[in-house]
Chain A
Amino acid sequence: MSETRTDRDAKTGRGAHSAATLSFSFDGRRLIGRDGDTVAASLLANGVTVCRETPVSGAPRAPYCLMGVCFECLVVIDGVGNRQGCMVPLRDGMTIETQHGRRQPEETQG
Chain B
Amino acid sequence: MSNHTEPDVVVIGGGVVGGAIALGLARSGARVTMLDEGDAAFRASRGNFALVWVQSKGFGMPEYAMWSRRSADDWHGLATILGEETGIDVAHSQPGGFMLCLSQDELGKRVDAMHRLHNQTTLTDFPYEVLDHAETKRRLPDIGKDVVGAIYSPLDGHVNSLKLFRALREATTRRGVDYRPNCPVESITPRDGGFRINGPWGEIATAKVVLAAGLGNARLAPMVGLDAPVKPSKGQIIVTEKTAPFLHNPMVTVRQTDEGGVMIGDSQEDRGFDTVVGQPILSVMAERAVRMFPRLAGLNVVRTWSALRVMSPDGFPIYDQSLSCPGAFVVTCHSGVTLAANHVLTLAPAILSGVLPDAVASFSARRFHV
Contacts and interface: CB of A to CB of B under 8 A. Distances in A.
A74 B294 CA distance: 23
Given A108-B295, A110-B290, A103 B302 contact: no
Contacts of B243: 102-105, 108
A103 B246 CA distance: 12
Contact of A105 (B290, B295, B300): B295
B295 A110 contact: yes
A85 to B, nearest CB: 13
A90 B319 CA distance: 58
A41 B352 CA distance: 58
B242 A108 contact: no
Given A71-B302, A82-B300, A103 B295 contact: no
Interface string B293-337: 011111110100000000000000000000000000000000000
Interface string A32-59: 0000000000000000000000011000
Interface in A61-110: 71, 74, 81-83, 101-105, 107-110
A103 B259 CA distance: 12
Contacts of A81: 241
What's the dominant secondary structure at chain B's contact region? mixed
B249 to A, nearest CB: 16
Contacts of B299: 103, 108
Contact of B242 (A83, A102, A107, A110): A102
B244 interface: yes
A104 B297 CA distance: 14
Nearest to A55: B242
A1 B367 CA distance: 54
A102 B244 contact: yes
A83 B241 CA distance: 10
Interface residues of B, number: 16
Contacts of B290: 110
Given A71-B302, A102-B260, A110-B290, A56 B242 contact: yes
Contact of A56 (B241, B259, B297, B302): B259
A79 B259 CA distance: 23
Contacts of A103: 241, 243-244, 299
A82 B260 CA distance: 13
Contacts of A83: 300
Contact of B259 (A55, A107, A109): A55
Contact of B297 (A82, A102, A105, A110): A110
For chain A, give the interface size range. Answer: 10 to 19
Nearest to B296: A110
B302 A107 contact: no
A110 B300 contact: no
A107 B298 CA distance: 8
B351 to A, nearest CB: 37
A7 to B, nearest CB: 25
A82 B241 contact: yes
Nearest to A83: B300
B146 to A, nearest CB: 14
Contacts of B242: 55-56, 101-102
A102 B298 CA distance: 13
B317 to A, nearest CB: 34
A55 B300 CA distance: 15
Interface string B280-297: 000000000010001111
Nearest to A104: B244
A56 B160 CA distance: 14
A109 B295 contact: yes
A109 B298 contact: yes
6 contacts: A56-B259, A102-B244, A102-B260, A108-B243, A108-B299, A109-B294
Given A55-B260, A110-B298, 10 more contacts: A71-B302, A74-B241, A82-B300, A103-B243, A108-B243, A108-B298, A110-B290, A110-B294, A110-B295, A110-B297
Interface of B: 241-244, 246, 259-260, 290, 294-300, 302
Interface of A: 55-56, 71, 74, 81-83, 101-105, 107-110
Q: Which 5 A-B pairs have the closest CB atoms?
A: A110-B297, A108-B298, A110-B298, A55-B242, A82-B241
